[in-house]
Amino acid sequence: MLKRTAIALSLFTVIGAAHSADQDEMRKLLTERMPGMQIGAITKAPYAGLYEVVANGLNVFYTDENANVAIIGRMIDLNTKKDLVEERKQQLLYVDFSSLPIDKAIVKVKGDGSRKLAVFSDPDCPFCQELEQELAKVSNVTIYTFLYPLAELHPDAERKAKLVWCAEDRAKAWDELMLQGKEPTAKEGACDAPLKEISAVAQKARINGTPGLIFSDGKLVPGMIKSIQIERNLAASQPKAAAVQSKN
């Protein structure tokens, strides 16, 4: 029984025999019983003998030690009134901004460049192209664009990403490609583009699709958002980012 915790959830029972609480075995069982779900970290929760499971990089649910049930939904701590699931998801949506390899990014300074934003983007992603239109409305920001072509979705994206990286003016080449549909004139293979390194960074940051935005306070926002939302996140990130810098 959950002590001092209320659960408003949907439950579904997965048929199977009892097994030990070994996490590798739990992962195997959950993978078999929840096909299509990518099972990540499994950790012992501090309540009710449950185990927290991270699925598909950013989703959180709970299971028993035998992986016979999945508890999906909200979990409210009645003392703090916090939604424990949402709180954990926000923790997963955090990336240490200072750890990003900005030497592998296309850098564009707008206005005074005082605010910072990193964007993982695919040249052939239509949502990334929409995002660029929204970013065009934002000023006083330094944008670090990481080329993250997803070949399984856009077979020609890697070629275009390499052309942009090898262009004499990368920021200009990126803008022309994304806003005007104009490909760079650089020759393919003219330089080495750090696409594999960027892909590794993206996977570590749980960015599985594009676009993916990371603000200076470490907040990760997956997907396309409007300029007004970008402005709100930039404003919110400023005091937090300054506090982090002051401690270092």
Query: Do both 44 and 102 map to the same domain?
Result: no
Both 65 and 124 in one domain: the answer is no
Distances (CA, A) of 187 to 104, 123, 167, 198, 204: 19, 17, 8, 21, 31
Position 189 scores a pLDDT of 64
Q: What is the pLDDT of residues 197-230, one digit of tens each?
A: 999 999 888 888 899 999 999 999 989 999 999 9
Number of domains in the chain: 2
- At 16 the pLDDT is 35
**83 & 102 share domain:** no
pLDDT tens-digit series, residues 176-199: 999 999 999 866 666 899 999 999
- Amino acid 192 reads D
Average pLDDT over residues 74-87: 82
**Same-domain status, 111 and 175:** yes
Do 53 and 130 lie in one domain? The reply is: no
Domain housing 53: 5-92
Q: 86 and 18, same structural domain? A: yes
Instruction: Pick the last residue of a domain from 47, 76, 92.
Output: 92
pLDDT (tens digit per residue) in 106-135: 999 999 999 999 999 999 999 999 999 999
- Angstrom distances, CA of residue 72 to CA of 60, 62, 89, 242: 8, 7, 13, 36
Q: Is the pLDDT of residue 2 over 60?
A: no
Is residue 93 helix, strand or coil? coil
Q: Are strands 69-77 and 115-121 parallel, antiparallel or unpaired?
A: unpaired
From first CA to last CA, the distance across the chain in angstroms is: 43
Residues 174 and 53 in one domain: no
Can you give the pLDDT at residue 211? 96
Whether residues 143 and 198 fall in one domain: yes
The larger pLDDT score, comparing residue 54 to residue 189, is at 54
Residue 99: predicted pLDDT:
95
Model confidence at 21: pLDDT above 80: no
In this structure, the answer to whether residues 56 and 136 fall within a common structural domain is no
Looking at 49, 65, 92, the residue that finishes a domain is: 92
Rounded Cα gap, residues 9 and 127, in angstroms: 32
Query: Is there a single domain that holds both residue 73 and residue 105?
Result: no
SS3 201: helix
Average pLDDT of every residue of the chain = 85
Last residue of a domain, one of 92, 110, 129: 92
Burial of 126 (0-12, 13-18, 19+ CB in 10 A): exposed
pLDDT band at residue 6 under the 50/70/90 scheme: very low
Which range is least confidently modeled, 74-83, 112-121, 162-171? 74-83
pLDDT of residue 89: 73
Asked if residue 220 and residue 166 are part of one domain, the reply reads yes
CB 145 within 8 Å of CB 122? no
Rg from Cα positions in the chain: 21
- Asked if pLDDT for residue 244 goes beyond 80, the answer is no
Distance CA 111, CA 237 (A): 18
Verify that 163 and 136 share a domain, yes or no: yes
Q: Write down the pLDDT at residue 86.
A: 74
The domain that contains 205 carries what CATH number?
3.40.30.10
Closest C-alpha among 102, 93, 197, 83 to residue 143: 102
pLDDT category of residue 41 using cuts at 50, 70 and 90: confident
Please state at what angle helix 227-247 crosses helix 126-135, rounded to 10 degrees.
Answer: 80
